Structure 1
Amino acid sequence: MTQPQTRAPSPFSVASIVVSMTAVALGNGVMSAYVPFVLSRSGSPSWAAGAAITAVAFGGLVGCVVAGPLIRRVGHARLFASSMALVILGALLIAIGVNPILWIIGRMLYGAAGNTNFIIAQSWLNHAASNAWRGKAMSFFYMAYVIGLGAGAFAFGQLPAEGNIAPLVTIFFTALAILPISLTRLPTPPAPARASLDIKMTWRNSPVGFIGVLASGGLSMMVQGFTPIYAAGNHVSQGDVALLMFVMQLGMLFIQFPLGALSDRMDRRVVLVFTCALIAVMAVVALFVSFANILLLMLAFAIFAGAVETVYSIANAHANDRTAPEDFVPLASTLLVAWSASATLVPLTVTLVTPVFGEKTFIYAAMAVAIAYGGFIVVRLIGRRPVPFEERENFEILSAQVPNATVITDPTAEHSDETHQPGA
């Protein structure tokens, strides 16, 4: 009897994954605007809004650690549905009324579930996509997710901040997200590789990449997380806060893509130095432009956020350039945990010192991190040649707001056999 031929997955076949995660992003965008806005204006303790940011990052760190073992235990589809249930539970904790402790727990649940779902989605995409269009599929996936975050934040501006409509909208989008993944006919991916940390190897191969991912974790959580708190604390209207968060997501696309393309044509470290300088300049602008010039401030924060996201994607690409294929999995594992740890500790520190140094602390901190990292790169540039163009990985759009686990999530993925030059 002739066996039926299995059709190779087409770009359209992964649409269910993209649609599901875009719905997740819409819900997260609503909540990312709603929680800091309400906590900043509800008479809650001054530390509450910052603690909610730290809780998301800490939950994300937990998600990065437990996602692999849980996928191996119950499979991709079941874990996706289970983690979506955690997102809904977290939103329900927020929907029952303003309670800082419950809201912090709810955001921590989201962080753990959100990172788990992102790892699941990456795994499915890597497994389903062919080598011919895998890079394009991943870039489209990231762009759809980031646009979903921005659209969700913008949608918050059209919803009443009073009451629980915003978290109910998040629950609605989260429930929708379960359907496409649950009904997909895509084959189940293999179990992800076990996360194996190797900080010594990562540092030896690419100090610039390792420190860059550490810097980007803190930078992203500061700029993306504390900006709406800063705006709400200065009595910016709900609509303008939502628009500000929307343009910050667009800034990622319009800043990261050209700088990333440029890094494919010259030494990535030089582009990173320029990016750090751009972050520092935009931080100065953000410090001295008042909310009376809201449109100019929005432009500054859009460039600010876009440059922060660019540090992550180029540093990640640079680390891969300098690493041999057999070390890709421990490299990805180490960078993933480094990003998550930084994204937890830096906003926690900023939250603790903000009462002492004021509401602009996160801007000064972002400027200091960018200047320190840029200076570190300049030191590394002296006497060390760049990786030859023919030995580089292609740049891909990534977001510092979500973990990059593309190597961990597909241990069968093919990699180039080219020799990579360590020691940048």
Structure 2
Amino acid sequence: MTSEEARANSPLSVASIVASMTAVALGNGVMSAYVPFVLTRSDSPSWAAGAAITAVAFGGLVGCVVAGPLIRRVGHARLFAASMALVILGALLIAIGVNPILWIIGRLLYGMAGNTNFIIAQSWLNHAASNEWRGKAMSFFYMAYVVGLGVGAFAFGQLPAEGNLAPLVTIFFTALAILPISLTRLPTPPAPASVSVDIKMAWRNSPVGFIGVLAAGGLSMMVQGFTPIYAAGNQVSQGEVALLMFVMQLGMLFIQYPLGALSDRMDRRLVLMFTCGLIAVMAVVALFASFAQLLLLMIVFAIWAGAVETVYSIANAHANDRTKPEDFVPLASTLLVAWSASATLVPLFVTLVTPVFGPKTFIYAAMAVAAAYGAFILMRLKGREAVPPDEREGFEMLSAQVPNATVITEPDDGRGDRGR
């Protein structure tokens, strides 16, 4: 192997991908805090902030469906640049001034581009990484992205909420993100596998995994999306809202990893039940915690957000445990679409009923989803034995805020088993 080939097959070879997506995350973190905060504090209709969350999720669903065909048509690099252009256009619509309809369209554009970018990046990373270090590279990729979201949200606290500096900062980071991938010397990967939805197969293989991904999609969009709206509505300062969102991202790292590692050693369903209980308990505490005790509230919301992320990653692992390698691609496709659909419909429902039940509706809804999923797991425990630890897929840290398209990003050759 030549020195150039060795460099191309080393972890440093994917640094450009990680750098680009971290810049994307920084911009997204700023906007994820800025949009709900400003819409809540402005004279916009009460439904506007929730509708912006739904728009991001619906755009993500569209992006998941169209990314594969578009990559086949124009290639990875061109589509990445085009999707970055959509992010910039969406931010420009927001930079014009507070206009709920334009802002919702802007977040829709971001949602479409955001999931497309993630699928492109995962496809490139999967193709560039060798079997020996692909899992570590993916974990680092997710961690860098989630930390980027948190740092971006924290950065919002240092910017003026008035005016358009926040969306301009997002445009800066988005333009910056184009450079590393555009200049990379990594070979272009093959076109990804098509999104082939097979709900019957996913349900037959793992009802707990399938329902878990559905639950996680809705839970994540509620907890991550409605928390800044709830805080801003309670007159929490801009800096404190930004710090709250930053701490919530850190919660993923400190909660998900130990519970995920535990699920590798015992029945994952028991860990999922415990996690659902943790979500419900934190929701109850969040209902009664006062914003006057902000430090306590931040700890509660950090644990809450981390537990939600844990449901997503363990449910994915549990589904893969019970799936044959030849079914990995349709399973990943089905879970991806299920996650996106739930992430769209649940926030839409919460947005519609919040005017009736009040600003704490999302907390009650998260509690109900966690309790229902926990009860479903309990029912399923009686019907099936756990997969032995030595026959399981290894747990990987994933984020319920971004699509898990790692298997879809394999070449469309009908195998879908690379790296497994």
Query: Matches of residues 111-122 of structure 1 in structure 2 within 5 Å?
Result: 111-122=111-122
How far off its partner does 1:415 sit? 4.8
Task: Answer yes or no: is 1:41 the counterpart of 2:41.
Answer: yes
Q: TM-score, normalised by structure 1?
A: 0.96
Aligned pair 1:246/2:274, yes or no? Answer: no
Distance in 1 between residues matched to 2:160 and 2:191, nearest whole Å: 43
**Is structure 2 residue 110 aligned with structure 1 residue 104?**
no
Aligned counterparts of 2:395 and 2:10: Cα–Cα separation in 1:
23
Which amino acid letter does the alignment assign opposite residue 215 of structure 2? A
What is the SS of the residue equivalent to 2:404? coil
Question: Comparing 379-388 with 310-319, which one deviates more in the overlay?
Answer: 379-388
Deviations 1:130-187 (A, max 9, x none): 0000000000000000000000000000000000000000000000000000000001
Report the CA distance between 1:4 and its aligned residue: 10
Whether 1:369 and 2:369 are equivalent positions in the alignment is yes
Question: Counterpart of 1:148?
Answer: 148
Q: Contact between 1:325 and 1:416, CA under 8 Å: does it hold in 2?
A: no
Provide the identity percentage.
Answer: 87
Residue in structure 2 matched with residue 281 of structure 1 by the alignment:
281
Partner of 1:200: 200
Q: CA deviation at 1:117?
A: 0.1
Give a deviation string over 1:89-121, Cα, whole Å, max 9, x none.
000000000000000000000000000000000
Cα displacement string for residues 293-327 of structure 1 (whole angstroms, at most 9, x for unaligned residues): 11100100000000000000000000000000000
Q: Hey, what's the Cα distance between the residues in 2 that align with 1:196 and 1:259?
A: 31
Q: Deviations over 1:270-300 (max 9, x none)?
A: 0000000000000000000110111100100
The answer to whether the 8 A contact 2:325-2:417 is kept is no
- What residue ranges of structure 2 are gaps of 5+ in the alignment? none
Separation in structure 1 between the aligned mates of residue 221 and residue 416 of structure 2, nearest angstrom: 30
Is contact 1:56-1:110 (8 Å) kept?
A: yes
| SS of the residue 1:191 aligns to | coil
Alignment of 1:117-196 (within 5 A): 117-196=117-196
| Per-residue deviation, 1:6 | 3.9
Letter in 1 for 2:250: L
Deviation string, structure 1 residues 8-32 (Cα, Å, up to 9, x no partner):
4210010000000000000000000
Deviates more, 1:384-393 or 1:17-26: 384-393
Gap change, CA 1:391 and 1:415, over 3 Å in 2: farther
CA distance in 1, matches of 2:4, 2:116: 33
| Cα distance in structure 2, aligned partners of 1:25 and 1:208 | 30
Q: Is the 8 A contact 1:220 1:343 kept in 2?
A: yes
Per the normalisation by structure 2, the TM-score is 0.97
Partner of 1:420: none
Residues in 2 aligned to 1:416 and 1:286: alpha-carbon distance in whole angstroms: 41
The alpha carbon displacement at 1:391 in A equals 1.0
What do the CA deviations read for 1:337-378 (whole angstroms, capped 9, x no partner)? 000000000000000000000000000000000000000000
Structure 1 alignment gaps of length 5 or more: 418-424
What residue is the counterpart of 1:298 in the other structure? Answer: 298
Amino acid at match of 2:11: P
Whole-angstrom distance in 2 between the partners of 1:302 and 1:245: 8
Instruction: Say whether the 8 Å CA contact 2:329–2:416 is kept in structure 1.
Output: no
- AA in 1 matched with 2:102: L
2:60 — aligned with what? 60
Tell me by how many angstroms 1:413 deviates.
5.9
Which has the larger displacement, 382-391 or 154-163? 382-391
Between the two proteins, the alignment pairs up a number of residues equal to 415
RMSD (Å), alpha carbons = 1.2
